[in-house]
Amino acid sequence: MIQYSKKVIEHFNNPRNMGEIKDPDGVGKVGNPICGDVMKVFIKVKDNKIADIKFKTLGCAAAIASSSMLTELAKGKTIKEALKITRMDIVKALGGLPEPKIHCSVLAQDALREAIKDYLSKKRSG
Ligand code: FES
């Protein structure tokens, strides 16, 4: 049995910012080919800041808790600050993750970066 921290269980039971943003400024979708989990992050950007962020995660408890925590960490941050959020920030904020579950937090980090990349590329071309 994997032991999760209280914070992980709390975010899993009560995920923040779950859902979809209609008309997002950027979308990031990442998957882990080994466990098959998929994570999608939607962002809305205003004045170079993450004004809104939502996620949809088809995955394990740690992936859902990581996405939820990611949205809390990213909201209100500038694009530059948000790009600096690492899996370690997510793990720390969650009060730790069991070793075999670290990759779940990597998914959250990467999904946000993909969403920002998507936003920046649209901005450049639009
Ligand atoms: Fe793959 Fe958690 S087991 S994201």
Distance between CA 4 and CA 44 in Å, rounded?
A: 31
Domain CATH number, residue 56: 3.90.1010.10
pLDDT in tens, the chain (126 residues): 789 999 999 999 999 999 999 999 999 999 999 899 999 999 999 999 999 999 999 999 999 999 999 999 999 999 999 999 999 999 999 999 999 999 999 999 999 999 999 999 998 886
Q: Which of the listed residues 8, 29, 34, 35 should we mutate to test ligand 1's pocket, taking the one with most ligand atoms within 8 A of CB?
A: 35
Is position 35 annotated as part of the catalytic site? yes
Is position 60 annotated as part of the catalytic site? no
* Closest-lying ligand 1 atom to the alpha carbon of residue 32: 1
Q: Which of the listed residues 56, 104, 105 should we mutate to test ligand 1's pocket, taking the one with most ligand atoms within 8 A of CB?
A: 104
Give the closest residue to 38 by CA, choosing from 108, 114, 112: 108
Residue type, 3: Q
Residue 1 lies in a domain: no
Q: Yes or no: say if 30 and 111 are a contact pair by the CB < 8 Å rule.
A: yes
pLDDT at 125: 80
Residue 125 lies in a domain: no
Which residue range is the domain that position 84 belongs to? 6-120
Residue 96 lies in a domain: yes
Residue 126 lies in a domain: no
Residue 76 lies in a domain: yes
Residues enclosing ligand 1, CB less than 6 A? 32, 35, 37, 59-60, 62-63, 101, 103-104, 107
pTM: 0.95
Distances (CA, A) of 9 to 31, 63, 67, 70, 114: 22, 11, 13, 15, 26
Distance between CA 72 and CA 80 in Å, rounded?
A: 16
Residue 64 lies in a domain: yes
pLDDT at 123: 87
Number of domains in the chain: 1
